[in-house]
Structure 1
Amino acid sequence: MMIELTTIKDLLIITPEIFTDDRGYFFEAFNKLKLEEYGVDYNFIQDNQSFSTKGVIRGLHFQINPFAQAKLIRVLQGEILDVAVDLRKESATYGEYFSVILSEKNKKQLMVPPGFAHGFSVLSETASVMYKVDQVYHKESERGIRYDDSTLSIDWKVNPKEVIVSEKDLILTGFKDVDLSF
């Protein structure tokens, strides 16, 4: 398992070592002990999975304390652009975002700690995304930022005419107006 530091502190890309033979492949998708060597010590309590079609943008979502979530995201089928926005006001990269392509082919994962908004766009015809979380969903703690916020100016790598966003995500506030109670 290779763990790569990103330009934003505490945000990690995890690439498994893949073992292939004539039957197919095998890899460790999660190894708590190896992650702990990099300071990743979350008690993941739930796995979530979504299926989406090309052009779908989900996010940007997060929960505030005490229900802020760490997420470990990976793609089971297809390809996405995964995006994390640093919402930690004391951070040197506050308000910056990082994006990475996660796919069934590259098998990369993104470790997103609490204090980040998270979202993704679907680049392939369809995509199945799975992610671990370390906190339960808590509706009253749920927050979000509009995907097309001009302050963040995220390039979702999707043709604007093909973007599909939920009604819930369309009414999210902009970055400057969001409640960041971390």
Structure 2
Amino acid sequence: MPGPVLVIVMGVSGCGKSTLAASLATEFGFRLLDADDFHPPANKARMARGEPLTDAMREPWIAAMCDALRERQRQGESCVLAYSGLRRAHRQRFRELGYPTLFIHLAGDSEMIRDRMRARVGHFAPASLLDSQLDALEAAMDEPDIVVVDAAQRIDRMHRQAAEKVQGFLADHMRA
């Protein structure tokens, strides 16, 4: 029987990754992890002030997520992680955990995402951070484990499209 898998729903803040990750985790019975839960308070405070994180500030956050995923893997749990995935090197860290991994990149027009960010209530990341996230996002060149889903769709359509990608990924994993 094949072991656990990791699905990472990635994209800039406001693209819908937490919502999509939660619906995929429910459908497939995977453990849901949200990267926002791993930020130290200082990172959240900085972002709430509209100040982007540096790669050095991201490092303990990435390490904490990797530690949590290693523990889930030891317990044989498949996971869905909602995570920005801005840097290629950080995406590689998750691949190196040993899970078969699929990235679902929610991509969309910056104005649409900015409007979503302005409309949401209770999130620490303001719309003013979007430009810095878009600047930090490194394109998925030569990363065949990343599939793109249009973030402009309604959540039910995004879910359906992403679920099809996960089904194909799981079928491939079962054959491996």
Asked if TM exceeds 0.5, the reply is no
The structure with higher relative contact order (CA 8 Å, sep 6+) is: 2
TM-score of the superposition, structure 1-length normalised?
Answer: 0.31
Bigger fraction of residues in helix:
2
Bigger fraction of residues in strand:
1
